[in-house]
């Protein structure tokens, strides 16, 4: 994560110089050389593979141990008791399949946000009407991304806890989250804002140049990742309880 953040922020600096050069002698495409494209490909591969596998490992361990603690509230549970019952291999494979769907959906929406930002940088010298249209589009896509991300994260929680995997977990999480969209949006907004605040604060002070700022940024971010999955486990249980109550009311004719 430290290596990715340093490379990512150095690429941000290079991108800034490409779109806002000191001497305007070449167009944007000429300033994007092969090294720049290789850096983008490298960042994409690091993000998709090692970082996402790290996220999946943290998610499955955090949710599994948290569920064991919540199910043993009346009994004092030791660290040995928590690890006596390992995660079943079939549940691990099914949860990983769900996670692949979540990563695909998340990455495509992030690329959509990036495409809007690139359009803004390319059209920044045009009228305020164009700027307003691009900003409005970015706000709508960001809202959609945050709201849907809460449902995608809940589908992974559902796979780990309930064993409902793959494509079956996604529509079920959408069904469970009905009436809770605003809460899910608010939760994702908090974690998204925290991550971007840390990243751009480190970028602003130039922490990537010395490394100390990046270590602090990654450390603070890593403290929040397990908390995020505990919060979404609680969010899933709340949505599930609301869904069951609503179903019982419908069966009783209320």
Contact 159, 232 (CB under 8 A): no
The region, left, alpha or beta by phi > 0 then psi within -120 to 50, assigned to residue 213 is alpha
d(CA 205, CA 72): 46
pLDDT band at 22 (very low <50, low <70, confident <90, very high): low
* Rg value, the chain, Cα: 21
Q: At what angle do helices 89-122 and 128-162 cross, to 10 degrees?
A: 180
pLDDT, tens digit, 9 for 90 and up, residues 41-51? 999 999 988 99
Q: In this predicted structure, what is the pLDDT of residue 251?
A: 79
Distances (CA, A) of 195 to 2, 56, 218: 14, 17, 9
pLDDT, tens digit, 9 for 90 and up, residues 86-121? 666 667 888 999 999 999 999 999 999 988 888 777
Contact 184, 154 (CB under 8 A): yes
- The total of structural domains in the chain comes to 1
pLDDT, tens digit, 9 for 90 and up, residues 166-183? 889 999 999 999 888 899
Domain that holds residue 214: 2-252
d(CA 196, CA 58): 20
């Amino acid at each position: 994560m430290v290596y990715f953040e340093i490379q990512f922020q150095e690429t941000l600096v290079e991108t800034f110089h490409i779109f806002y050069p000191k001497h305007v002698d070449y167009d944007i495409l000429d300033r994007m050389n092969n090294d720049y494209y290789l850096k983008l490909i490298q960042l994409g591969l690091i993000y998709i593979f090692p970082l996402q596998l790290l996220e999946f490992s943290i998610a499955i361990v955090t949710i599994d141990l948290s569920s064991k603690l919540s199910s043993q509230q009346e009994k004092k549970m030791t660290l040995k008791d928590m690890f006596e019952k390992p995660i079943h291999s079939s549940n691990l494979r099914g949860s990983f399949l769900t996670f692949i769907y979540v990563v695909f959906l998340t990455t495509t929406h992030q690329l959509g946000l990036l495409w809007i930002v690139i359009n803004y940088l390319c059209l920044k010298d045009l009228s305020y009407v164009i700027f307003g249209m691009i900003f409005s589009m970015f706000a709508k896509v960001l809202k959609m991304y945050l709201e849907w991300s809460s449902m995608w994260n809940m589908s992974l929680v559902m796979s780990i806890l309930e064993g409902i995997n793959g494509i079956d977990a996604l529509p079920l999480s959408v069904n469970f989250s009905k009436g809770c969209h605003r809460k899910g949006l608010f939760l994702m907004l908090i974690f998204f804002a925290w991550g971007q605040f840390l990243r751009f604060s480190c970028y602003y002070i130039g922490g990537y140049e010395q490394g100390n700022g990046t270590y602090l940024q990654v450390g603070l971010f890593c403290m929040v990742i397990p908390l995020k999955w505990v919060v979404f486990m609680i969010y899933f249980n709340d949505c599930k309880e609301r869904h069951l109550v609503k179903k019982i009311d419908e069966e009783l004719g209320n």
